[in-house]
């Protein structure tokens, strides 16, 4: 069984400027549920979400085939 750990936070998206829900995809990368912008969380005394402008850095959902023991097929 594959387990995903996702964090959901409230925040203001810098792209659409809406107070919305941000979904964590790991390693401090979030996606805005309102406009779909990919954001990187920066912590320097306070938390900020910065847009990712590099198209090569855009996150994509990847689906793999796994067996019941959690091993990749």
Query: Is residue 59 pLDDT above 60, yes or no?
Result: no
What's the full length of the chain, in residues? 73
Tracing tokens 């790991």 back to the chain, one arrives at: 26
Range of the domain at 8: 1-73
d(CA 69, CA 33): 32
- Write out the two tokens for 20: 């919305």
User: In what helix (H) or strand (E) does residue 10 lie, and over which residues does it extend?
Assistant: strand 8-12
Tell me the whole-structure pTM to 2 decimals: 0.65
| pLDDT single digits (tens) 18-42 | 999 999 987 888 999 999 998 999 8
Radius of gyration of the chain measured on its C-alpha atoms: 15
Structural domain tally of the chain?
1
Query: Is residue 9 pLDDT above 70, yes or no?
Result: yes
């Amino acid at each position: 069984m594959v387990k995903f750990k996702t964090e959901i936070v409230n925040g203001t998206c810098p792209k659409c400027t809406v107070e919305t829900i941000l979904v964590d995809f790991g390693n401090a990368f979030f996606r805005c549920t309102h406009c779909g912008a990919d954001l990187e969380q920066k912590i320097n005394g306070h938390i900020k979400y910065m847009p990712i402008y590099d198209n090569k850095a855009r996150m994509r959902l990847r689906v793999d085939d796994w067996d019941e023991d959690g091993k990749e097929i």
